[in-house]
Amino acid sequence: MATNLQFIDSTEVTSSTSAFNFDNIFSDIYDVYEIYIRNLATVGTTETSLYFRFIDSGGSVINGTTYDYASLEMKANTTFAESKSTTASFIRVGLFDAPPEGSNLKLVIYNPYDSSSYTFLQAQASARAAGNLAGYKAIGVEHTAQSVRGIQILEPNVRPFDEGNISVYGVK
């Protein structure tokens, strides 16, 4: 299936934050979106996980336990690890570390603006964490039928991020 990406918007993370909202990026024009996050890096020197939430049509972050996800962390120096939940308040989409290691992610979002459908996500990430190569794959769903207009990326523990680029495309 050939796709045609239509650029929607991009933004930079330029200051230390544990949560970053990118609002008003979804509309009724597209059913599928691709989000690319490049060079996302933490302010510290130890790897940490990256999480994802949606922003509803009223502008509020959806932070209830309405997310399901499953992920596979594939580090070159250790055994692969699975993570999953059916009652999470986020979707775990990757890991990242201090510059210059950082992380790069591709997220595919399905049906975000359709108020009669759940919003689904697929994620792929590559990173260098603690000097080792790592890959990451995840799937997730926000299981309430509602319109979604934006995203939040976050690290809710104690490891904020301070740089990165986020670009959003509609898929035709």
pLDDT at 117: 96
The beta strands (E) that lie in the chain are given as 5-13, 19-22, 32-42, 48-56, 67-75, 81-88, 91-96, 103-110, 119-129, 132-142, 148-154, 161-171
- 121-165 pLDDT tens trace: 999 998 876 777 888 999 999 999 999 999 999 887 767 778 889
- 80-96 pLDDT tens trace: 999 999 999 999 988 76
Domain range enclosing 164:
5-171
Q: What angle do CA 115, 138, 108 make, to 5 degrees?
A: 45
3-state secondary structure of 131: coil
Q: Domain total for the chain?
A: 1
Confidence of residue 16 (pLDDT cuts 50, 70, 90): confident
Q: Higher-confidence residue: 5 or 1?
A: 5
pLDDT at 100: 61
Identity (one letter) of the amino acid at 129? A
3-state secondary structure of 39: strand
Mean pLDDT, the chain, rounded, equals 89
Q: What is the CATH number of the domain that holds 93?
A: 2.60.120
Give the pTM: 0.91
